[in-house]
Copies of this chain bind each other. A is one copy, B any other.
Amino acid sequence: MVKVGIVGGSGYVGRELLRLLYIHPEAEVTYVTSRRFKGRPIHSVHFSLRGYYSGIIFSSYSLDKLASLSDVVFLALPHGESLRHVPELLDVGLKVIDLSADFRLKRSEDYERWYGFTHPYPDLLRKAVYGLPELHRKELKGADLIASPGCNATAAILASIPLVSRFGLANNSLIIDVKVGSSEAGYTPTVGSHHPNREGSIRPYSMRGHRHSAEVSQELGRVVGKDLNVSLTPHAVSSIRGVLATVYMFSGEPLDYRNILRAYVEYFKNQAFVRMINPALPPGFPDPKHVLGSNIAEVSVVYDEATEIIKGFAAIDNLVRGAAGQAVQAMNICLGFDEGAGLNYPPLSPA
Contacts from A to B (Cβ < 8 Å): 12, 15, 18-19, 22-23, 44, 46-52, 173, 175, 177, 179, 181-183, 187-191, 193-205, 207-209, 229-231, 233, 235, 237-244, 246, 248, 250, 275, 279, 282-283, 285-293, 296, 300, 302-304, 306-307, 309, 311, 313, 315, 344-351
Contacts and interface: CB of A to CB of B under 8 A. Distances in A.
A240 B50 CA distance: 23
A349 B237 contact: no
B237 A239 contact: yes
A246 B177 contact: yes
Contacts of A50: 275, 290
Contacts of A190: 189
A49 B46 CA distance: 28
A48 B275 CA distance: 10
Contacts of A12: 196, 350
Contact of A285 (B204, B248, B315, B350): B204
Contacts of A183: 196, 350-351
A3 B71 CA distance: 39
Contacts of A287: 47, 201-203
Contacts of A286: 204
Contacts of A49: 346-347, 349
When A and B form their complex, which 7 residue pairs have the shortest distance between CB atoms, in order from nearest?
A: A48-B349, A238-B238, A196-B350, A177-B177, A182-B195, A189-B194, A195-B198
A173 B293 CA distance: 38
Contacts of A208: 279, 302-304, 311
Contacts of A243: 202
A44 B282 CA distance: 6
A319 to B, nearest CB: 8
A22 B340 CA distance: 15
Quick one: which of A50, A175, A348 has the most chain B CB within 10 A?
A348
A86 to B, nearest CB: 28
A318 to B, nearest CB: 11
B207 A309 contact: no
A37 to B, nearest CB: 11
Contacts of A209: 304, 306-307
A124 B96 CA distance: 60
A285 B205 contact: yes
A15 B195 contact: no
A189 B350 CA distance: 14
Contact of A202 (B191, B230, B244, B304): B244
A349 B292 CA distance: 11
Quick one: which of A173, A200, A300 has the most chain B CB within 10 A?
A200
Contact of A240 (B200, B230, B237, B311): B200
A307 B239 CA distance: 30
Nearest to A184: B196
